[in-house]
């Protein structure tokens, strides 16, 4: 089981001080948070991709490349990579480059982006969101697996004799997750390729999340990648912790009440009751997270949203200390004890390379 954090890269005013970080401060804070993630023993750091204020993460591979140079073990990922508005050729090139620089510590999560006006800035149309995600990813998938590609489709100029460089490291493309909160088409897509499926698990009641995940699991089995309970599932979550539950609630409430995404809406109590948001003691976070397994089955990756809504860097780093010291070690132990042997871990470059070499050996044996 992998544990990590994902960021949306929002620049938000701290409601308790009225201070808004500069873009530079926020960018540097994201790097500090990623380095801290490695320091406290987390496995994954994932950055969002946005091309509109108040977000700063418009250039994920630049940021992840920089973090790669300053870390040793951390897996660098995205949450999400816009498969709709990015040219799949550029994605193939940029992430293969990043994969080499990071010695294979790279995977990606594909997403569509839900802001209509962004699409035309990149020559696209949100009404074509699903077809864009399908066609673009299909091309990306080929570019990483075929040395020379001839291709013609609906959304970009044709390719004749095109080779995307650099080729993926060890000829093993980065593992891909597909993120969606409500689209059965995306769960179907992930299942077809045998890729991972990630649900951000933040705004949606668990009944909806479960429908989508069980669809993905069923179809994963249908397409012959393994049993439904061997499908590769990732979940989000958001937490705020202090030693005493009441202190966590008291400290987090102004951030919750003023957050751009839920301010003016439900109370903190309602939202923690109805969604996976957990504000309380480390033990409460442990219990709630273990509950995800009861709801969705054994899964491979748990990412937490920690740095949002204007929380100051110092607070976020404290949160990561608690996560790394008190929460994740317990979760690792508990999840490992409960996971049946036939359920795989999340693929990594090493495991994919090993699988590839095994497959090659088996083919030779067959001859």
Partner 1 sequence: MTRKLVTVTAGLSNPSSTRLLADRLTNATEEALAERGETVDVRVVELREVAHDIMNAMTTRVPTGDLSGILKDMDEADAVIAVTPVFNASYSGLFKSFFDVVEPGTLDGTPVLAAATGGSPRHSLVLEHALRPMFSYSRAVVVPTGVYAASEDWGAGESGGRELSERIARAARQLALLATEHSAKTEDPYEEPTPFADLMSGLGT
- Tokens coding 358: 């095994």
- Would you say 152 or 364 has its CB closer to partner 1? 152
199 lies in the binding site for partner 1 (CB under 8 A):
no
Q: Quick one: residue 235, left, alpha or beta (phi over 0 = left, psi -120 to 50 = alpha)?
A: beta
Binding partner 1 (rule: CB under 8 A), the pick from 146, 147, 171, 270 is 270
Query: Which DSSP state fits 156?
Result: S
CB 164 within 8 A of CB 143: yes
Q: Taking the CB of residue 129, how many other CB atoms lie within 10 A of it?
A: 21
Residue 192 makes contact with partner 1 by CB under 8 A: yes
Half-sphere exposure of 128 (CA within 13 A, CB side): 16
DSSP string, 76-110: EEES-EETTTS-HHHHHHHHHHHHHHTTT-BEEEE
Q: If binding is defined by CB under 8 A, does position 184 make contact with partner 1?
A: yes
Name the minimum Å distance from CB 256 to partner 1. Answer: 11
Is residue 260 a contact point for partner 1 (CB under 8 A)? no
Of 107, 188, 195, 307, the residue at the interface with partner 1 (CB under 8 A) is 188
Nearer to partner 1, 19 or 273 (CB): 273
Interacting residues with partner 1 between 121 and 150 (CB under 8 A): 130-131, 134-135, 138-139
Q: Which two tokens stand for residue 151?
A: 């291709």
Cβ-based nearer residue to partner 1, 171 or 270: 270
Of the candidates 116, 123, 265, 291, which one interacts with partner 1 according to CB under 8 A? 265
| DSSP 3-state of 148 | coil
Query: Which of residues 148 and 354 has its CB atom nearest to partner 1 in the complex?
Result: 148
| Secondary structure of 214-248 in HEC code, one letter for each residue | HHHHHHHHHCCCCCHHHCCEEECCEEEECCCHHHH
Binding residues vs partner 1 (CB under 8 A): 130-131, 134-135, 138-139, 151-155, 184-185, 187-189, 191-192, 203-205, 211-212, 214-215, 219, 223, 261-262, 264-266, 270-271, 273-275
């Amino acid at each position: 089981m992998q544990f990590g954090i994902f960021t949306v890269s929002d620049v938000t005013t701290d409601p308790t001080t009225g201070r808004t970080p500069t873009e530079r401060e926020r960018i540097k804070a994201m790097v500090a948070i990623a380095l801290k993630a490695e320091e406290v023993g987390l496995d994954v750091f994932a950055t969002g991709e946005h091309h509109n204020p108040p977000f700063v993460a418009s250039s994920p591979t630049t940021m992840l490349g920089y973090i790669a140079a300053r870390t040793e073990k951390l897996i660098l990922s995205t949450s999400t990579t816009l498969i709709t508005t990015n040219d799949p050729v550029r994605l193939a090139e940029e992430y293969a480059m990043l994969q080499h620089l990071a010695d294979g510590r790279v995977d990606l999560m594909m997403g569509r982006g839900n802001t209509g006006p962004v699409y035309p800035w990149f020559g696209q149309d949100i009404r074509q969101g699903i077809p864009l995600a399908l066609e673009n990813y299909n091309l990306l998938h080929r570019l990483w697996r075929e040395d020379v590609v001839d291709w013609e489709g609906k959304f970009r100029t044709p390719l004749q004799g095109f080779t995307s460089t650099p080729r993926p490291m060890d000829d093993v493309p980065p593992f891909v997750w597909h993120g969606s909160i409500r689209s059965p088409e995306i769960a179907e897509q992930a299942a077809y390729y045998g890729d991972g499926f990630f649900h951000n698990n933040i705004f949606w009641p668990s009944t909806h999340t479960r429908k989508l995940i069980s669809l993905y699991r069923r179809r994963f089995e249908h397409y012959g990648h393994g049993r439904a309970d061997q499908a590769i599932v990732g979940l989000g979550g958001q937490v705020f912790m202090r030693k005493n539950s009441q202190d966590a609630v008291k400290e987090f409430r102004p951030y919750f009440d003023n957050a751009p995404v839920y301010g003016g809406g439900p109370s903190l109590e309602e939202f923690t009751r109805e969604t996976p948001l957990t504000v309380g003691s480390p033990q409460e976070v442990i219990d709630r997270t273990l509950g995800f397994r009861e709801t969705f089955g054994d899964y491979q990756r748990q990412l937490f949203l920690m740095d949002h809504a204007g929380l100051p860097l110092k607070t976020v780093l404290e949160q990561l200390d608690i996560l790394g010291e008190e929460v994740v070690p317990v979760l690792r132990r508990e999840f490992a004890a409960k996971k049946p042997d036939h359920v795989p871990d999340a693929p990594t470059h090493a495991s994919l390379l090993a699988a590839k070499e095994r497959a090659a050996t088996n083919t030779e044996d067959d001859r």
